[in-house]
Structure 1
Amino acid sequence: MKVIIKDTDKFKQQALQWASGFDVCCCLDSNGYADKYSRFDLLIAAGRKAELQVISQDAFEKLSAFKNQHPGWLLGFLTYDLKNETEQLGSGNFDGLHFPQLHFFEPEHLLIVKGNQLEIQSPEAEVVLAAIEAQVVREEHIAPNINLQSRFDRDEYIDVVNRIKEHIIRGDVYVTNFCQEFYADAAQIDPLAAFIKLNQISPNPFAAFYKQNNQYIICASPERFMAKRDKTLISQPIKGTAKIAGNAQDDALIMQQLQSSPKEQQENVMVVDLVRNDLTRSAKPGTVVTEELFGIYSFRQVHQMISTVTCQIANNLGPVEAIRNTFPMGSMTGAPKVNSMRLMEHYERSKRGVYSGAVGYFSPDGDFDFNVVIRSMLYNAGRQYLSFQVGSAITYNADAGAEYEECLLKASAIMEVLEPHPL
């Protein structure tokens, strides 16, 4: 069923509210940042015909089998800690969220919006449309009582960064992504209202709202992990961040400084090299190409340095295997990749879980698209535990105080959502 939407903003809120009434739902919103690899502006999946939840062991094998059994649309998430299956690693840090290792579902109802055109894939399409249009949009009421805390104070963070730099001097790693958690116990929020407000404050091209019973992903990600379009794999790592000034002249200078910064270029090119190396495991020989290096893109809060790496997928390689070959994404690990992940398990104080993981979809034609879960809140309503993490790349030239400030900049939109009780 296809229809024309008169008011796309109103429809989006109504559709989100309708979908959030199901036990399982997923919304993927590009917020108007379409690129040549985008397939839609908005996708909302609600209800589950079938689902896969893996707590431990053989997650990728189970996902591949599940996808073969259900070759239509699948929506889901992968956690960072699946690294323990792709490499000989472990995760022993504190976990207040208790999400599964991965979760995927085949939806009962699927909404695809391109411009003002809506397609509803459902055996009850007319009923679905009527139910959405009958929704009365609720007032936002997000954080009546949030006591936000951090696993690191500023001095502790700086001390750890300096210890990491000692590892870099010794040659253990060249660059690594060090992350810290902000959290709240006994937290009561309206997850959907939080997503709507976050998406208004910080609209980004890979925003996602994901509900699995009482567990929620509230995501405003600017970063694509990996997509497949026909025979092409596309990865777009982000490394390099600068604050938006708010006027054209200053922002033009900031963008120029970001693009020409030796430190930011060093971080970016190290990750590009890592991604190129990862993609060779899935590529036809000789097809890995850096389409764009050090591209500067502007969003509501920040300018970002984004590079694009592509390859032609090897014959007979399945989509799940292509993801496994590059997971977790290089922008959230470091180089050498395994050493960096092992080192961060030692210095970080929280299990990353869904943070540094990915949310996305497999489509019936064999394509897929997954984001990087950053700039995101994670919420377990049953445990009343709210968490978000932020990180930055640590290199030999990194200034610990500046890296801490960069973390706060990346967290600024989430902090604003959680007002009037910010950290």
Structure 2
Amino acid sequence: MFVQIKDLQIFKKKALNWANSFEICCLLDSNQYQDPYSKFDLLIAAGTVDFISSKESSTSFDQLNEFRKKHAGWIFGGLGYDLKNEIEDLSSKNPDFLNFPDLFFFAPQHLLLLKGDVLEIISDDAKQIWKNINDLDIEQSFLAPKVDINCRFTKTDYLDTVNEIKKEIAQGNIYETNFCIEFYAEQINLQPTHTFNQLNTLSPSPFSNYFKWFDQYILSATPERFLSKRGRKLISQPIKGTAKRSLNLLEDEQIKKDLVNHPKEQQENVMIVDLVRNDLTKSAKKGTVKVEELFGVYSFKQVHQMISTVVCELDDAISNAYVLKNSFPMGSMTGAPKIKAMQLMEKYERSKRGMYSGAVGYFSPDDDFDFNVIIRSILYNERTKYLSFQVGSAITYYAEPEKEYEECLLKVKAILEIFT
């Protein structure tokens, strides 16, 4: 069934409220950013035909591979950062306050796919779904509660820890790492749909998503693509390099120029590009890995970002589940060398990352896929009433701790604005 949408913003709010009435749903929103690899502007999946969930298993990607064989149409799901322990000889000892599964996927009952102003409803009950969505009322004035946000690190703790990490770099243990800290609040009664709408208005991003998995929620304003497959082509677009926006157009343009020419930002970016190239070789036809764009600067409502694009041609012998495994976790959230960086961050960080630094995405009926990076995201456990958002920055030998701290606050500016 095809329908023309007249008011996109009202439709999105109503459709999200409808989807949220199911125990499991996923919304993926490009926020009208133009991307050569996107297939839709908005995609909503709701209800379940079947699902899988894995926690601290040694076979998560095998389970995903079998689930994909069983369901060859649309499936949606998430990959938690701590799947690293299944992929490499690593462990996660830091406390987990959210308890998301490490891997979870579902085959939906109903699908809404919007491109331009044309909505396709894929369901046995398409006409009834369209009626149900239109009959919904939406609250226009709701704002998220103002809460006391805590952090696992004081500013002094953070600065001291960055200096300790720089000593590791000086000793040659690693070249670069992504050091992350957690902000949190307890005993919070959150209305996830309204909070997501608020976040998506403040910080519209090309890979925004809302994921409800029973009583756990991901509300994401992420600008970063982890890995996408289009035909036989794999695309990874790591972000390394962040700068503030300015309301002054001339100043804003100068900030962009300074970002692309900044030696430290370039160093961060090229190290991770090399790491991503190495990860892609595990899934690529020999000799096909290449950098399609280096140091591209893209502007979002809150920040400018330096994004590079690495591509390859997929080896036909490797199935999609193992393509994801071969590049996971994404290099932009780990560091180089990858395994050592992950080991050290387990030592210096104070919270289990869980879904933060993980990915959410889909497999489509033509066997393509697209997964984002879960950053700039609110994570919420409705049962325990625990709210969390983490943030990180790249630490190199030349990193200035005070500036790294300021970058972390810049990255979570929109989320802090919602709650404080």
Give yes or no for contact 2:144–2:194 (8 Å, CA) kept in 1: no
Classify the secondary structure of the residue corresponding to 1:47.
Answer: strand
* Stretch deviating more after TM superposition (383-392 or 312-321): 312-321
State the distance in 2 between where 1:11 and 1:185 align.
Answer: 32
For each residue in 1:307-360, what CA deviation from the matched residue of structure 2 results, as whole angstroms up to 9, or x when unmatched?
Answer: 000000001211111110000000000000000000000000000000000000
1:247, CA displacement in angstroms? 2.2
Residue number in structure 2 paired with 1:12:
12
Structure 1 consecutive aligned stretches of length 4 or more whose deviation exceeds 4 Å: none
Residue number in structure 2 paired with 1:286:
287
State the distance in 1 between where 2:316 and 2:215 align.
Answer: 40
1:94, CA displacement in angstroms? 1.1
Residue number in structure 2 paired with 1:398:
399
Classify the secondary structure of the residue corresponding to 2:183.
Answer: strand
Residue number in structure 2 paired with 1:321:
322
Residue number in structure 2 paired with 1:363:
364
1:145, CA displacement in angstroms? 5.2
Distance 1:279 1:119, change over 3 A: same
Residue number in structure 2 paired with 1:273:
274
State the distance in 2 between where 1:140 and 1:195 align.
Answer: 14
Code of the residue aligned with 2:308 in structure 1: it is S
1:2 is the counterpart of 2:13: no
TM-score by length of 2: 0.99
Overall identity of the aligned pairs, in %? 56
State the distance in 2 between where 1:143 and 1:11 align.
Answer: 21
* Stretch deviating more after TM superposition (139-148 or 259-268): 139-148
For each residue in 1:175-197, what CA deviation from the matched residue of structure 2 results, as whole angstroms up to 9, or x when unmatched?
Answer: 00000000011111111111000
Give yes or no for contact 1:145–1:188 (8 Å, CA) kept in 2: no
For each residue in 1:103-126, what CA deviation from the matched residue of structure 2 results, as whole angstroms up to 9, or x when unmatched?
Answer: 110001000000100001000100
1:302, CA displacement in angstroms? 0.3
1:147, CA displacement in angstroms? 2.0
State the distance in 1 between where 2:285 and 2:390 align.
Answer: 36
Residue number in structure 2 paired with 1:36:
36
State the distance in 1 between where 2:280 and 2:146 align.
Answer: 45
Residue number in structure 2 paired with 1:251:
252
What are the within-5 Å matches in structure 2 for residues 8-407 of structure 1? 8-57=8-57, 58-144=59-145, 146-407=147-408
TM-score by length of 1: 0.98
Code of the residue aligned with 1:300 in structure 2: it is K
State the distance in 1 between where 2:398 and 2:176 align.
Answer: 10
1:8, CA displacement in angstroms? 1.4
1:146, CA displacement in angstroms? 1.9
State the distance in 1 between where 2:64 and 2:127 align.
Answer: 32
State the distance in 1 between where 2:186 and 2:108 align.
Answer: 32
1:139, CA displacement in angstroms? 3.7
Give yes or no for contact 2:93–2:352 (8 Å, CA) kept in 1: yes
Code of the residue aligned with 1:47 in structure 2: it is G
1:381, CA displacement in angstroms? 0.6
Classify the secondary structure of the residue corresponding to 2:95.
Answer: coil
* Stretch deviating more after TM superposition (264-273 or 313-322): 313-322
Classify the secondary structure of the residue corresponding to 1:141.
Answer: coil
Give yes or no for contact 1:362–1:368 (8 Å, CA) kept in 2: yes
1:56, CA displacement in angstroms? 2.2
Give yes or no for contact 1:390–1:410 (8 Å, CA) kept in 2: yes
State the distance in 2 between where 1:371 and 1:238 align.
Answer: 11
For each residue in 1:141-172, what CA deviation from the matched residue of structure 2 results, as whole angstroms up to 9, or x when unmatched?
Answer: 34335221000010000000000000000000
Code of the residue aligned with 1:94 in structure 2: it is P
State the distance in 1 between where 2:410 and 2:141 align.
Answer: 24
Give yes or no for contact 2:27–2:42 (8 Å, CA) kept in 1: yes
* Stretch deviating more after TM superposition (256-265 or 245-254): 245-254
For each residue in 1:343-380, what CA deviation from the matched residue of structure 2 results, as whole angstroms up to 9, or x when unmatched?
Answer: 00000000000000000000011100000000000000
For each residue in 1:28-55, what CA deviation from the matched residue of structure 2 results, as whole angstroms up to 9, or x when unmatched?
Answer: 0000112110100000001001001111
Aligned length: 419
Classify the secondary structure of the residue corresponding to 2:412.
Answer: helix
Give yes or no for contact 1:146–1:188 (8 Å, CA) kept in 2: no
Classify the secondary structure of the residue corresponding to 1:49.
Answer: strand
Segments of 5+ residues of structure 1 without an aligned counterpart are none
